[in-house]
Structure 1
Amino acid sequence: MPSSTKKTRAQWITPKRAPYIFIAPAVLLLIFFTIYPVLQSFILSFQQVKGITKTFVGLSNYTRLLHDPIFYKSLLNTFQILIVQVPVMLFFALLIAVGLHSSLVKAKSFFRIAYFMPAITALVAASIVFMILLDENFGLVNYLLNLLGIESIRWLSSPFWAKVSIIALMTWRWTGYNMVIFLAGLQNIPKELYEAASMDGATRVKQFFLITIPQLKPVFIFTVVMSTIGTLQLFDEPFILTGGGPNNATMTITLYLYQTGFKYFDFGYASAIAYALVVIIAVISWIQMKLVGDFEE
């Protein structure tokens, strides 16, 4: 290679330019695979797609949302699951974390791995196992209920019990994940606080509510907000277990979005649903951060 070419490259790759050169591949990937699809989807929400033809329809897709009963049904289903599943999951996660943090529990490493395993289990495999366990005719759960003299439950074909099944699967899968986060928060609380409280005569119950809970404020905010976002984006569990049925009883927003876009090929309306979901998530997350912060102060 001619020395002049080497000299030109050396002059171009200066210390000031080097950082930008190194981050350029990551920035390009972000632009092409994240920013561009997001912007394109936003533009698509103002269009109607028929085949390869795109027609600008203004706010027509968003207006359609306001008169769509299935959208409201999916929104209601998602919030019903959210209101029940997130508090139950976080309660068990905190309870398990406190137990594993206690000096009374032995073999802590084993239990931590055991509780965390569902979070790394393939969701499709876990859902299939739940489908087998909850089978109305041959499932193990109904078999055990029959042994106790209880009639079989239509776990996946009853509107109420189908929601319960999804909540059970979500709780089983994500409790251990949040347990690890709570456990990390508990390990960062200074032991001196508990020692001082013990010297003042505070019981373990008082220490829990006056020291542990306030010290876990950042952890509570993080787990509540992230769990809420995850539940509002709920797709895999109802898609595999119930397909949104029976009679749209387990239809969630993201599942409705998926069916609108990839079953009925109404991509413009699906994009409008996606951005409506973004707004809902942003508003609810902000409200939660304010409420949880005020509650913990």
Structure 2
Amino acid sequence: MTAVNTHERSVAPACAPGTVRRPRRRGHLSGWIFAGPAAALFALFFAYPLGASLLQSFTTEDAGAVHWVGLDQYQRMLHDPAFIQSLLNTGLILVVQVPVMIGLALVLAALLNQSWLRFRGTWRALHFLPAVTTLVAYAVVFQVLLKTDNGLVNQILGAVGISPVDWLNDPTWARISLILTLTWRWTGYNAVILLAGLQSIGKEQYEAAALDGAGTFTTYTRVILPQLRPVILFCAVTSTIGTLQLFDENYVLTRGGPDNATLTPVVYLYKVGFQQFDFGYAAAIAWVVVALIAAISALQYLAFGRERRR
């Protein structure tokens, strides 16, 4: 009896791992049950449309029949003046508007961070409010303000003796109007993000810079800005993505005109896809925009991160 009991006790632990595995399997099964609906929705509404659009960019439709054309849709862009013009317009907005906006946001964040400023919470909320308004709503407001006839801006200019400006019908002024509109909406948004970065910097660093004899400008350029590099990178990348995806503002203001002066790739994609019903070419444009966003974002990351890696 003693030998048998000893044998049974020695065998019993060998069965223990089997009893432990069952709850793990049940746990994995429970995880898949909970994650299953989200995974199914992701596959149905994101992964499948993404793959279908990529496949569609290599096809064309003629009389209801779909034909495989390979890279013809992408080669077509190289000879499409409207698409090239949309890239040039977007590049101009990106080079001019984004640096100006981030520069203004840095100045605004520094002012909102001052201890002597009264009602700081109110001022921060007021500057962030433009980012809360819907894209179409604020674009319609600017369309009314910038009307050539009876627009509020031209009425103010006329009151001080300046002749009316054809804001939305002249190519140059249309680009300026679009840049001003984007700057008004997104400067406060980026300022609040940069303000959060400023508040993460300890006061002792300001005091140390002051003890070393650094002035306000030197303190911000040599001490504060290097530490804000990740935050500035975030603002630059998100602003770049927003510019390359620009649609609502310029479509409401000018429909991409006049003379394609404010045409962007997404507006052109909309016209090709939903006005000309050339969905294969529209899908190819969409994937080129995705590639541009990835490439420019990577370049910005390398440019801003170079000093940190050193």
**What range describes the TM-score normalised by the shorter chain of this pair?**
over 0.9
Please, which moves more after superposition, 237-246 or 187-196?
187-196
Amino acid at match of 1:31: A
Q: Which residue of 2 aligns with 1:184?
A: 196
C-alpha spacing 1:265/1:240, structure 2 compared with 1 (3 Å): same
Instruction: Provide TM-score, normalisation by structure 1.
Output: 0.93
- Structure 2 counterparts to residues 75-94 of structure 1, below 5 A: 75-94=87-106
Deviation of the 1:209 alpha carbon: 1.0
SS in 1 for 2:256: coil
Aligned length: 288
4+ residue segments displaced more than 3 Å? 10-13
SS in 2 for 1:16: helix
Distance 1:140 1:279 in 2: 40
Distance 2:255 2:157 in 1: 25
Q: 1:103 aligns with which of 111, 115, 123?
A: 115
Distance 1:265 1:207 in 2: 56
Q: Which residue of 1 aligns with 2:306?
A: 294
Amino acid at match of 1:151: S
Distance 2:81 2:141 in 1: 33
Distance 1:155 1:205 in 2: 37
Distance 1:238 1:36 in 2: 30
Distance 2:210 2:93 in 1: 40
Distance 1:93 1:19 in 2: 44
Distance 1:295 1:163 in 2: 34
Distance 1:122 1:223 in 2: 20
Is residue 120 of structure 1 aligned with residue 109 of structure 2?
no
Q: Which residue of 1 aligns with 2:242?
A: 230
Q: Which runs of 5+ in 1 are unaligned?
A: 1-9
Amino acid at match of 2:295: V
Distance 2:44 2:63 in 1: 24
Q: Deviations over 1:70-122 (max 9, x none)?
A: 11001001111111110111111111111011112110111111001110112
Distance 1:282 1:290 in 2: 12
Pick the structure with greater CA Rg. 2
Quote the RMSD (CA, aligned, Å): 1.7
Amino acid at match of 2:99: P
Q: Which runs of 5+ in 2 are unaligned?
A: 1-21
- Structure 2 counterparts to residues 35-114 of structure 1, below 5 A: 35-50=47-62, 52-114=64-126
Is residue 213 of structure 1 aligned with residue 225 of structure 2?
yes
Is residue 141 of structure 1 aligned with residue 137 of structure 2?
no
Q: Which residue of 2 aligns with 1:31?
A: 43
Q: Which residue of 2 aligns with 1:199?
A: 211
Q: 2:282 aligns with which of 265, 270, 273?
A: 270
Q: Which residue of 2 aligns with 1:158?
A: 170
Distance 1:13 1:51 in 2: 53
Q: 1:173 aligns with which of 185, 196, 211?
A: 185
Deviation of the 1:260 alpha carbon: 0.4
Q: Deviations over 1:219-243 (max 9, x none)?
A: 0111111101110110001110000
Distance 2:169 2:237 in 1: 31
State percent identity of aligned pairs.
48
Deviation of the 1:12 alpha carbon: 11
SS in 2 for 1:55: strand
Q: Which residue of 2 aligns with 1:4?
A: none
Distance 2:253 2:307 in 1: 36
Distance 1:159 1:133 in 2: 18
Q: Deviations over 1:162-210 (max 9, x none)?
A: 0111111111111111111101101111222112222222222221111
